[in-house]
């Protein structure tokens, strides 16, 4: 459905997200998701060879938009070189509660995603595309299936298989998606080779998220010069952000790389003089000073110790306690693990317990030492990156809020003068 200048789609914990019309990928969100409407805005893209697509995406440096920002051209080239039998997967599972951009794309402009996926499939000489949709957002699957039916009625020759996750934070991880497609439990497992070398059925698998395929379609449709007309010289084009996606008032919007983060928050009605959790629950805290100074580019955010990740921006109230919020997020993440390795099964609950003690306050040096011990033990030892991402969040809290951390450890939360005002844990 649409309201005013945006479409309303299913959100995270609180129901709905407004998808705002944007300059490129989201330019048609108020027009409707139909193929005929889409073709008036985006003509059928010309076929492109695998070598030319590798060169084009490398020239413009298209990066994956699922969180790792891996160069798409390298992933594509690996799949090209790895063998003849290949698979193409659109991962739109979005297990992160704060992210709704891929769901927003598939509900409002699904054919742009499918254009990109078909360009890649045809370049790789693949005649079937797999699409993985989120179990938590039940509206997405029928919307995708309706778009697929339109294309097949229009003479499309590529077939599709739609998979739906079981939900959960780690269900969208690449190997968890491969497990789901293989008929096994939708949880990550240890892998010894990238999916582009050995993925589904142990064959080369080009697995990228929905926005990445939409960006590929836009690049081929516009050409490199027009595509790079917005953004920066180092990071051309636009990116999708989900702002406040795990709470009320959530918004998906498209911004050119290089815009000020403060302008994004102000546009969405959020304070610019409060901390922000950038990159989602596996992201990092930015101070209010960084919020004002930093721009939406991978390089600038990395310099601040943060990450763009999957484009999740979580602003907080200036009176909120980042120590308490971090403890609550880690408790959630500990409950979302696959429980298939020691760091997830034992380490994350222990870290959550230590952070809870820190948030309650007054535990002193032993509590601080326990938090730091666990953040030193967990990274690099899990079957997937879930422990590493959780530790990244905690380390950013320790780095960004040392005074508040110490206040919690040796006294109590400095933001709650009256204990009766504290939120019950």
Contact 276, 245 (CB under 8 A): no
Going by pLDDT thresholds of 50, 70 and 90, the confidence category of residue 424 is very low
Let me know whether 281 and 201 are in one domain. no
Task: Look at residue 321 and tell me if it is in a domain.
Answer: no
Let me know whether 31 and 166 are in one domain. yes
Task: Look at residue 241 and tell me if it is in a domain.
Answer: no
Let me know whether 269 and 297 are in one domain. yes
Poorest-confidence range of 9-13, 131-135, 270-274? Answer: 9-13
Which residues make beta-bridge pairs with 130? 89, 161
Task: Look at residue 242 and tell me if it is in a domain.
Answer: no
The pLDDT score that the predictor gives to residue 1 is: 34
Count of alpha carbons within 13 angstroms of residue 129, beta-carbon side: 28
Task: Look at residue 252 and tell me if it is in a domain.
Answer: no
Task: Look at residue 238 and tell me if it is in a domain.
Answer: no
Q: Above 70 in pLDDT, residue 296?
A: yes
Alpha helices in 99-186 (DSSP H): 101-108, 110-123, 140-153, 174-181
The pLDDT score that the predictor gives to residue 320 is: 87
The residue segments making up the domain with residue 280 are 258-315
Let me know whether 199 and 347 are in one domain. no
Task: Look at residue 243 and tell me if it is in a domain.
Answer: no
- Helices 348-360 and 402-410 meet at what angle, rounded to 10? 80
Task: Look at residue 415 and tell me if it is in a domain.
Answer: yes
Q: Above 90 in pLDDT, residue 361?
A: no
At 178-226, the pLDDT tens digits run 999 999 999 888 878 899 999 999 999 999 999 999 999 999 999 999 9
If you average pLDDT over every residue of the chain, what do you get? Answer: 90
Last residue in a domain, options 174, 209, 227: 227
Q: Which residues lie closer than 8 Å to 398 by C-beta, 6 or more apart?
A: 371, 372, 375, 405
Total number of domains constituting the chain: 3
Q: Is the pTM of this model over 0.75?
A: yes
The pLDDT score that the predictor gives to residue 69 is: 80
Task: Look at residue 394 and tell me if it is in a domain.
Answer: yes
Give the residue with greater pLDDT, 21 vs 14: 21
Going by pLDDT thresholds of 50, 70 and 90, the confidence category of residue 14 is very low
At 69-93, the pLDDT tens digits run 889 999 999 999 987 799 999 999 9
CATH number at residue 108: 3.40.50.11540
């Amino acid at each position: 459905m649409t309201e005013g200048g945006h479409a309303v789609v299913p959100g995270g914990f609180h129901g709905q997200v407004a998808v705002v019309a944007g300059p490129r990928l989201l330019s048609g969100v108020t027009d409707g998701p139909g193929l005929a409407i889409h073709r008036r805005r985006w003509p059928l893209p010309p076929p492109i060879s695998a070598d030319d697509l590798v060169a084009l995406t490398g020239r413009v440096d298209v990066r994956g938009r699922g969180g790792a920002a891996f160069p798409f051209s390298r992933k594509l080239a690996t799949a090209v070189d790895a063998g003849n039998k290949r698979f193409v997967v659109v991962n739109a599972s979005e297990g992160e509660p704060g992210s709704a951009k891929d769901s927003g794309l598939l509900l409002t402009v699904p054919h742009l995603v499918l254009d990109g996926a078909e360009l890649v499939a045809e370049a790789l000489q693949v005649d079937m595309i797999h699409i993985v949709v989120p179990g938590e957002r039940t509206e997405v699957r029928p919307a995708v299936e309706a778009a697929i039916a339109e294309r097949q009625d229009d003479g499309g020759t590529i077939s599709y298989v739609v998979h739906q996750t079981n939900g959960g934070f780690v269900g969208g991880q690449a190997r968890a998606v491969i497990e789901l497609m293989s008929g096994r439990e939708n949880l990550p497992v240890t892998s010894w080779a990238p999916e582009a070398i050995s993925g589904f059925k142990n064959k080369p698998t080009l697995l990228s998220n929905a926005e990445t395929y939409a960006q590929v379609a836009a690049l081929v449709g516009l050409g490199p010069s027009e595509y790079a007309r917005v953004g920066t010289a180092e990071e051309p084009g636009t990116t999708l952000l989900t702002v406040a996606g795990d709470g009320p008032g959530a918004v998906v919007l498209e911004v050119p790389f290089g815009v000020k983060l403060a302008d994004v928050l102000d546009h969405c009605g959020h304070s610019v003089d409060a901390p922000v959790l950038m990159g989602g629950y596996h992201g990092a805290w930015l101070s209010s000073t960084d919020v004002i100074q930093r721009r939406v580019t991978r390089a600038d955010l990395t310099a601040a110790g943060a990450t763009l990740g999957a484009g999740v921006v979580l602003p907080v109230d200036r009176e909120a306690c980042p120590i308490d919020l971090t403890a609550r997020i880690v408790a959630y993440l500990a409950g979302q693990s696959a429980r298939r390795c020691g760091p997830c099964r034992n380490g994350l609950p222990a870290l959550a317990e230590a952070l809870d003690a820190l948030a309650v306050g007054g535990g002193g040096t032993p509590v601080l030492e326990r938090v730091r011990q666990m953040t030193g033990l967990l990274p690099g030892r899990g079957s997937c990156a879930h422990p590493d991402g959780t530790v990244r969040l905690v380390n950013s809290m320790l780095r960004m809020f040392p005074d508040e951390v110490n206040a919690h450890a040796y006294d109590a939360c400095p933001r709650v003068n009256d204990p009766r005002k504290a939120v019950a844990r």
